Amino acid sequence: MPQPNGTVAVAEGGGGVSPNAGRVSKPRGRFFPVGIGPVARKELADHLSGLRFGILLVLIGVTCLAAVYAASSSIREAVSQAQTFEFAFLNLFTSSGENLPSFVSFITFLAPLLGIALGFDALNSERSQGTLSRLVSQPIHRDAVLQGKFVAGLGVVGLALTALVVIVAGLGIVLLGTTPSLEEVGRLVAFIIVTAIYVGFWLALAQLFSVLFKQAATSALASIAVWLFFAIFASLIVGLVVDAVAPAGEGATNAEVIRHEELSDDLNRISPSTLYDEATTALLNPSVRSLGVLVYEQIDRAVVGPLSFGQSLVLVWPQIISLIGCVLLFFTVAYILFMREEIRA
């Protein structure tokens, strides 16, 4: 279509860039929002060069290495007493030393902090810096901002966890004098992935709060409040509720005891920490055969032995899916809130 006076169809002096029509509709905009790549790259660089991530990494690294060192001495003792010791390597992560909790319990406790620290100021800091209005006026989809930040956060977490597990594994080879079997490696990889999802849960929550609250401090406090609730109070409350609803005191029938335990399990599973706890327990302890109540009849005449990796995975599949579901839920809410928000300086 000839345009005699060339009205605005083409950007001035594109300098090698095609006219605007070609600039926007890139094929990758179809599935991923346009602009997620640059946002994620920038956020990743920010995290890696930032002081905050460094502090957290040192904190988690030091505590976990201490835990592993403590665990290794007790494992060596156990190995020296028994002739065979299956999955010694995994024990490095799950068994506790004399004075210190295990690697996994440290991670369970600190992982939320990592997620919160990486996400609590994701959007409100952009807003208070005045960069958000610049960002959303670029030709990118608005959800690319949230998703890019989430992807970057998860990337950093994955990187840190992998590094940590590899260091611990290396340490284990030196301390225990054995190498991990292929199955152990598989289980460790699954552990890293599940942990990343768990951190993703807290990251998504913190990001949601960063959209919801204009002040970074408010959203940090809100996230920490949720973390403390699940870490400390949730199980207490569940205990009270279960005792009230399905009491199983002295002289209770089997049915009552089972009902009590099952209700307690179900309610506890509302908490993401419980889900994560169960998932990692089953993944790192091949001998765990069930995460619920087992009555004697069920294990009568069962062949005692570890589960295969695949079976362990089947066991924790619901937990993993629930965690992913929570992440998606938070993400969706944050997305809806952010989409509807009008950004003014």
Closest approach, Cβ 200 to other proteins, in A, equals 21
Is residue 12 part of the contact set for other proteins (CB under 8 A)? yes
Closest approach, Cβ 124 to other proteins, in A, equals 13
- The residue among 256, 265, 260, 259 whose CA lies nearest residue 235 is 265
Number of amino acids touching other proteins (CB under 8 A): 51
- Kindly indicate which of the ranges 101-109, 163-171, 301-309, 336-344 contains the residues binding other proteins, using the contact rule CB under 8 A: 336-344
Q: Which is nearer to other proteins, 41 or 76 (CB)?
A: 41
Closest approach, Cβ 15 to other proteins, in A, equals 5
Q: Which is nearer to other proteins, 20 or 290 (CB)?
A: 20
User: Which residues between 118 and 147 bind other proteins (CB under 8 A)?
Assistant: 129-131, 133-143
Q: Which is nearer to other proteins, 46 or 256 (CB)?
A: 46
Closest approach, Cβ 25 to other proteins, in A, equals 5
Is residue 214 part of the contact set for other proteins (CB under 8 A)? no
Q: How far apart are the first and last CA of the chain?
A: 40
Q: Which is nearer to other proteins, 42 or 214 (CB)?
A: 42
Give CA separation, 84 vs 127, 170, 312, in Å.
Answer: 59, 21, 22
Closest approach, Cβ 22 to other proteins, in A, equals 9
- Kindly indicate which of the ranges 43-51, 186-194, 274-282, 283-291 contains the residues binding other proteins, using the contact rule CB under 8 A: 43-51
Closest approach, Cβ 273 to other proteins, in A, equals 32
Is residue 215 part of the contact set for other proteins (CB under 8 A)? no
Closest approach, Cβ 85 to other proteins, in A, equals 49
- Using CB under 8 A as the criterion, which residues of the chain lie in contact with other proteins when the complex forms? 1, 3, 5, 7-9, 11-17, 20-21, 23-26, 29-30, 33-35, 38-39, 41-42, 46, 49-50, 129-131, 133-143, 335, 339, 342-345
